[in-house]
Amino acid sequence: MLTGGRLDTSDVQKVIGNIDASLDAWNSAFNEVGGSLKKFYGTMPFTSQGGVYKKRWARLDTTYASRKAKKFPGKNILVASGRMSRGFQFQSSSKQVTITNKDPNFKFHQLGTSKMPQRVMMLIDKQRKEAIAKTMGESLQKKVSKA
């Protein structure tokens, strides 16, 4: 790559060209981010009842809480069948990752309604941003070192 002991513009252009081409393909990094977030969203918000985001979920309405305790004894808020916590899925490509939840009731709990308080399960908070940045940074380092 370097010719002699000096840096030649053609050498720099080759390196930049190699890096530039590899920057179009982030498949493995986005796949890793998606898998990590899917696992996190399917466990931590549910076990901490929102505490992981420093905003615990509102208590259940007393009537519903009584019914739920009989039908699903010992289960936390938003955990009955486990369908919602298992419903997270992701799809990644070379340019993005999309995370969704296939449970049809997810959006009502995530956003809240006029009759139901919001119970956030999916949030890109500071810790998730840092983890994503670390994954993407490590991927960039690999790309640069291969160029």
Amino acid at 52: V
Separation CA 25–CA 58 (nearest Å) = 42
Q: How many CB atoms lie within 10 A of CB 82?
A: 12
Q: Could you give the dihedral angle defined by the CA atoms of residues 83, 88, 89 and 95, in that order, rounded to the nearest 10 degrees?
A: 170
Residue range 98-116: mean pLDDT, rounded:
94
Helix (H) or strand (E) holding 89: strand 88-92
- Residue 22 or 39, more confident: 39
Query: What is the pLDDT at residue 109?
Result: 93
Query: What is the pLDDT at residue 19?
Result: 59
Q: Residue 38 pLDDT > 80, yes or no?
A: yes
Band (2; pLDDT cuts 50, 70, 90): very low
Query: What is the pLDDT at residue 4?
Result: 41
Per-residue burial over 26-40, b if 16 or more Cβ lie within 10 Å, else e, is: beebbbbbbebbbeb
Query: What is the pLDDT at residue 120?
Result: 94
Residue range 50-55: mean pLDDT, rounded:
94
Each residue of 56-105: pLDDT tens digit? Answer: 999 988 888 888 888 888 888 888 888 999 999 999 998 889 999 999 99
Q: How many CB atoms lie within 10 A of CB 61?
A: 13
Tokens of 52: 């992981």
Greatest alpha-carbon pair distance for the chain in Å reads 80
Query: What is the pLDDT at residue 1?
Result: 40
Domain ranges of the chain: 10-146
Residue range 1-21: mean pLDDT, rounded:
51
